[in-house]
Chain A
Amino acid sequence: MPKDGGIGASTVRREDIRFLTGKGRYTADINLRGQAYACFLRSEVAHGRINRIDTAEARAMPGVLAVMTGADFAAMGGNPAGWHIPSRNGEAMKEPKRPVLAHGKVRHVGDAYAVVVAETLEQARDAAGAVVADITELPAVVDMAQAVANPDLRVHDEIANNVCFDWGWIEDNRAAVDAAFKTAPHVTTLELVNNRLVPNAMEPRASIGDYDPGTGDYKLYTTSQNPHLSRLLISAFVMGIPENKLTVIAPDVGGGFGSKIYHYGEEAAVLAASRALNRPVKWVADRSESFLSDAHGRDHVTRIELATDLEGNFLALRTETLANVGAYLSNFATATPTFLHGTLMAGPYRTPLVYVNVKAVFTNTAPVDAYRGAGRPEATFSIERVVDKMCRELKLDPVAVRRKNLIQPDQYPYTTPVGLVYDTGNYPATLDKLIEIADFSGFEARRAESARRGKLRGLGLSTWIEACGIAPSNLVGVLGARVGLYDAATVRVNATGNISVMTGAHSHGQGHETVFAQIVSDKLGIPASSIDIVHGDTSKIPFGMGSYGSRSLAVGGSAMVKAVDKIIAKGKKIAAHMLEAAEGDIVFEDGKFSVTGTDKSKTFGEIAFSAYVPHNYPLESLEPGLEETAFYDPANFTYPAGAYACEVEVDAETGRVEVVGFACADDFGNVMNPMIVNGQVHGGVAQGIGQALLEAAAYDDNGQLLTGSYMDYAMPRADDLPMFTVDHSCNTPCTHNPLGVKGCGEAGAIGSPPAVVNAVIDALHRGGHTHVTHIDMPLTPSRVWSAIQN
């Protein structure tokens, strides 16, 4: 049993109180004295040469304070790519400058080229309408195949064929993989599209720049998942503001899903405008701007081949992928289709030979970067679809085939042919659990019942793994990362015994304020109500890398536990002095330091007080105070895994698919708060079902975004989804972090899309439509109906 409010308890969230009463403080809710308002001008064409931007009329409009264009930022640095991915021939990747505001050319619809700042938002908007931009439209390249094939179409004049890199993983294994395919008894081939998505956090991006002319300090309030990363990028690469003169504050943030990891040009623009005007400058995106300018996700075109024997044993797997990076490289755009995708191509299976080729392609579309799952959903979708297709070709049971190819529990640590070392897991156990909770044995009766109502019912499966808890710095450094990926925490015990924990992780829906307090409470034996979690403000927290890649608990939480351990270690020294005992004889349990074998003890509060009022204290050997900071750099990735099942009903007359059941058996390692973990899975699965059935960011041939609002982009709504069945009882604790945790934030979005598509194909086959071998996502009624009609 978990301690009351400690590790493992489904404690309700403390942050809910402010969110439920309208007292949340999101960036758009912040108004600073004297603030002005910014409105950005964005390209209406996908590709164009900027001949002239006439701002004279706009400058003369009422309330206008400044109009800045790309020329005003031309001398500044560019927003850099965080990873260098070399091509397989050794060539460096192509890194065109990504300026604060477009200068010379605009390269996608929504590319910002000017900003108007005025006394009121209405005045800024009115004046934006008076800016006259003379832009010559150039041919746009939108389709990736065309981008790499047509030498006359260039997003960046200096990059032929629009290829950022041509990456092979692992290049040395290629010959062996190819040889295995030549002799394989059976090869299954599948060409598929992993559809482009818009992350659509419900809070649109917003930023307020606040320059203080008295001190020369800059403050940026912004919708960020990792304020220190934004500060580093702005300071070291874009604007050159010394880090110690820039504070970045990410207050309450209304969801991120990856889209708020990155530094965006608007942040630099409002800082520069604030510096120029000596007053705060605020910008809040409207939803249309979000659709056009937030980093999009996915957008792969993949050919995958699976070599097997006739019994369905996997012999080799190879893929060729075109990955869209859009018009400019967003901060993690190069890592997402490579080290977060290619390295996962073994999945949970013992496939002995794997080779992955990825070409990253520039197009005249919004930048594409990590979106919930980031590379791993793409890998999982490709693998799980080709496995299902193979099962149909060889008339094998998809459960039995998966079961016999899974890595077995006695094979850890398991080194994959794509460079990862899985530390622990039990994939057969989660598969067995899934079969139980999804009631596979009752499926036939449910199918017959659906058939009586004229519906085709199908059952789809996926068994998946991900690598998260990003990441061991020395390893990712070798692979091309340009930052470390540790995290940090400071535990400050105050003189009166209550505690402030400053974490480098950032909460934008995950509930850190509750869960992190549970953990510290459990470790220190003091009530969670005496513990505050502080995050999101670079002037308060230690240098951390924020939250993405399901890393908050595995990395940030581990740093916090290390800092707590240091507090306990120091507390033992203080207690030994006060209790006149040897340090080795002091034990700490349930908030009390005791001399082993005696009834002598000091409470945590007494030790804290003594640290700050050190009258009876070993000052000659120990500093006063009780505050510790720890940095934690993980020894390995963590490897959450699981098995998902989706049940659908298909109306063959209309092609409409309804998800009627969804079950998840996950292994997240130790679970700190089951209620919150379940909620994370629900949300991830909803996004995965959205990808599979509803969502697509569609551009026309001219690069116009056709799905630029909620009128056109189908977000999952309450009546599109069923209740979910979620289980995480089959857990194998992570072997290399102190909490034994693996991370749960992305799982749902990774494991679910192939389960949905496999279920639809299964329904069609059971209904006799056996000619349908694949349908590209999203499986809209028209696509399903067309597939049925052939």
Chain B
Amino acid sequence: MTNVTMTVNGKAVSGDVEGRTLLSSFLREGLGLTGTHVGCDTSQCGACVVHVDGKPVKSCTVFALDVAGAAVKTIEGMANADGSLGVIQQAFQDHHGLQCGFCTPGMVMSAAALLADNPKPTESEVRHYLEGNICRCTGYHNIVKAVLAASGQDVAAVAAE
């Protein structure tokens, strides 16, 4: 076991981990931040996406020790300071961009990374960017709509429904 320290959602945290402990496990089991989900074992589904030093990463593919000292942001850190939903979260609710909710944390984190890089993406850019996040419930229609809405674009014309 080795002690690891990092910043998670603005707070300094530390814990003892094995060399093989994944960042997703450290967040979920070590810190109790169970909003980060694990939906596969091949880094394909994207339910575990978090931000490390501002960049989206699949936390099931990163060892906790490899991000020692980094600033990590998870879905638990995405709401506004007063606890209300952030812009992207609110757009997901307004546009029914989630159903079972399991892929949602990763979707929100990926969407946030996209909008940080590309504040006004096209529909096609949103779809391409979210390739690494699998959703089985929504057919992506309302996720794409929510991300476009979160970027401040008018989504009324995007699709009939």
Contact = CB atoms under 8 A, between A and B. Distances in A.
B127 A255 contact: no
Contacts of B41: 286-288, 709
A508 interface: yes
Contacts of B124: 719
A728 to B, nearest CB: 9
B15 interface: no
A724 B105 CA distance: 24
Interface string A408-428: 000000000000000000000
B75 A22 contact: yes
Interface string A10-26: 00110111111111111
A684 B44 CA distance: 21
Contacts of B149: none
A26 B37 contact: yes
Interface in B119-161: 123-124, 126-128, 130-131, 133-144, 158-161
A22 B139 contact: no
B54 interface: no
Contact of A723 (B75, B94, B159): B159
A430 to B, nearest CB: 15
Contact of B159 (A29, A122, A684, A725): A725
Contacts of B136: 200-202, 255, 257, 683, 687, 715
B100 A21 contact: no
Interface residues of B, number: 60
A122 B29 CA distance: 13
B34 interface: yes
A716 B103 CA distance: 14
Interface in B44-96: 44-45, 47, 74-76, 78-79, 85, 89, 92-94, 96
Contacts of B135: 202, 718
B3 interface: no
Nearest to A719: B127
A202 B39 contact: yes
Contacts of B18: 122
B12 interface: no
B104 A718 contact: no
B46 to A, nearest CB: 10
Contacts of A18: 101
A584 to B, nearest CB: 44
B137 A683 contact: yes
B118 interface: no
A21 B137 contact: no
Interface in A191-249: 200-204
A334 interface: no
A670 to B, nearest CB: 18
A721 interface: yes
Contacts of B126: 718
Interface in A660-691: 675-676, 678-679, 682-687
* Chain B interface helix/strand/loop/mixed: loop
B102 A21 contact: no
Contact of A711 (B42, B78, B98, B144): B42
B139 A724 contact: yes
Contact of B42 (A675, A710, A721): A710
Nearest to B145: A723
Determine the interface band of chain A, counting residues with CB < 8 A from chain B: 35 or more
A253 interface: yes
A252 B40 contact: no
A17 B45 CA distance: 22
A18 B139 CA distance: 21
Contacts of B108: 20
Contact of A12 (B44, B94, B100): B94
B143 A255 contact: no
Nearest to A685: B139
A738 interface: no
A707 to B, nearest CB: 12
A715 B134 contact: yes
Given A255-B136, A718-B130, A21 B89 contact: yes
Contacts of A19: 98, 101, 104
B85 A718 contact: no
A683 B143 CA distance: 11
A104 interface: no
B150 to A, nearest CB: 12
B159 A254 contact: no
A676 B98 CA distance: 10
A497 interface: no
Nearest to B140: A718
B159 to A, nearest CB: 4
Contacts of B74: 22
Given A509-B137, A709-B44, A719-B127, A22 B100 contact: no
A717 B134 contact: yes
Interface string B27-39: 0110001111111
A726 interface: yes
A721 B144 CA distance: 11
A682 B47 contact: no
Contacts of B142: 679, 682
A16 B92 contact: yes
Contacts of A23: 35, 76
A438 to B, nearest CB: 10
A682 B42 contact: no
B101 to A, nearest CB: 3
Contacts of B39: 202-204, 254, 287
Contacts of B38: 28, 204
Nearest to B18: A122
| Most chain A CB inside 10 Å of its own CB: which residue of B39, B94, B104 | B39
A511 interface: yes
A587 interface: no
B131 A717 contact: yes
B149 to A, nearest CB: 13
Nearest to B39: A202
A413 B135 CA distance: 39
B37 A683 contact: no
A15 B98 CA distance: 10
Interface in A629-688: 675-676, 678-679, 682-687
A21 B139 CA distance: 22
A246 B124 CA distance: 50
A280 to B, nearest CB: 15
Contact of A255 (B42, B96, B100): B100
12 contacts: A12-B96, A13-B96, A16-B92, A20-B104, A22-B76, A679-B142, A682-B140, A683-B137, A716-B139, A718-B126, A718-B143, A723-B159
Interface of B: 18, 20, 28-29, 33-42, 44-45, 47, 74-76, 78-79, 85, 89, 92-94, 96, 98-105, 108, 123-124, 126-128, 130-131, 133-144, 158-161
Given A716-B140, A724-B139, 12 more contacts: A20-B98, A21-B85, A24-B101, A31-B29, A203-B39, A255-B137, A287-B41, A679-B137, A687-B136, A710-B45, A719-B128, A723-B159
Give the 3 A-B residue pairs with the shortest CB-CB distance, closest first: A22-B35, A19-B101, A254-B102
